[in-house]
Amino acid sequence: MNANERPSHGYLRGARIQPTAITGRESVAELVDRAFLAYNGARLREGAHLLVERMLADDVTVALSLTGALTPAGLGMSAIIPLMEAGFVDWIVSTGANLYHDAHFGLGLSLHQGTFAVDDVELHDNGVVRIYDIFFDYKVLLDTDAFFREIISGPEFQRAMSTAEFHNLCGKYLSAREKALGSEKRSLLAAAWEYGVPIYTSSPGDSSIGMNVAAKALEGNGLMFDVNADVNETAAIVWDAKASGGRSAVWILGGGSPKNFLLQTEPQIQEVLGIAEKGHDYFLAVTDARPDTGGLSGATPAEAVSWGKIDPDQLPGTVICYTDSTIALPLLTAYALARHAPRTRKRIYDRRENLMKRLREAYYAHGRAGEGADRG
């Protein structure tokens, strides 16, 4: 047998790389399908297909994690709010910083395009704050701090609550402020309140919001973040999605603590609560972190299988794309909105008490409840 007659063993079954020329008249979805054929372009196309063809099925509960300064770049307004409005995102884990900077927009405060090639001492002298190439007046921080300190002084905040409860209340007040300013659909928190999307923060003290809550505690304010409720509520969301005959999908932007907090829901169910489960069904990640440094931000879905975070039978339903979230998120959002009809919103926030009841029942009926209670 000569080289021209060798069997390929199926390796050459993939579509031939022979794209049509780009004309400038293509939609985003057409461009992704036709021209993103190799390397991380192909991974983004595969992620877009995974999102539209599998993750957005009606019986899939979709979680989104947000790391990196995405809301200051306007991605809350341009991408995440439209995704929630279409029913494509059911619950969120975010850094507190993303939610603090989101509030600027709901309060009518302005952020501006700038440049990274600048003298930061000169910016400081002129009262300008920089997030890479985003500029805003230092007064934006002071006004946003004042907003949070004012609302958390109210009677409905004087108790322990999950971060989802806290963000829901903040969203209600930001929505009212948007309406008063005539600038609706600018705040992610306000939209999440409207659409019943719970938003959790894995490290509530690690942001300006948490710093203001801590400051008010010095004055005797009664607000406390119940991190136990956060761990159990997020596990309850995933448990209900799977126990009800549906599936769970994770869409990860960046890495860090929000990624881990989102993924740890499955070890919480399996390892800690002792309830039989197999892991999340679909995994779509966008990151610029490498896996070989050992950090969670770059950890692959295959590695997550060893922790029980991802169902090993579903590894074909996982995609990791190594690129910047500010590039991938607008493209994936445009693709999803072009290729998939809106879904009925699951309004998970409204069902939190029932979800917790179901998880508690499963814990006592099938899990480890009571283990070690009689130990000295």
Residue owning tokens 């299988």: 305
What contacts 3, CB < 8 A, 6 or more positions away?
A: none
- CA dist 331 and 33 (Å) reads 11
Residue owning tokens 């600038």: 183
**Residue 25: CA atoms inside 13 Å, Cβ hemisphere, count?**
3
- CA dist 228 and 326 (Å) reads 32
- CA dist 78 and 303 (Å) reads 32
Catalytic residue among 242, 259, 309, 346: 309
What contacts 66, CB < 8 A, 6 or more positions away?
A: 80, 92, 93, 94, 95, 98, 253, 254, 258
Which backbone phi and psi does 102 adopt, to 5 degrees?
-60, -40
* Structure tokens given for 355: 């979800």
Known active-site residue 139? no
Cβ neighbours of 28 (radius 10 Å): 16
Which of 25, 57, 92 shows the shortest CA–CA distance to 344?
57
* Structure tokens given for 24: 């400038």
The SS3 of residue 224 is: strand
Residues annotated catalytic, as ranges: 309
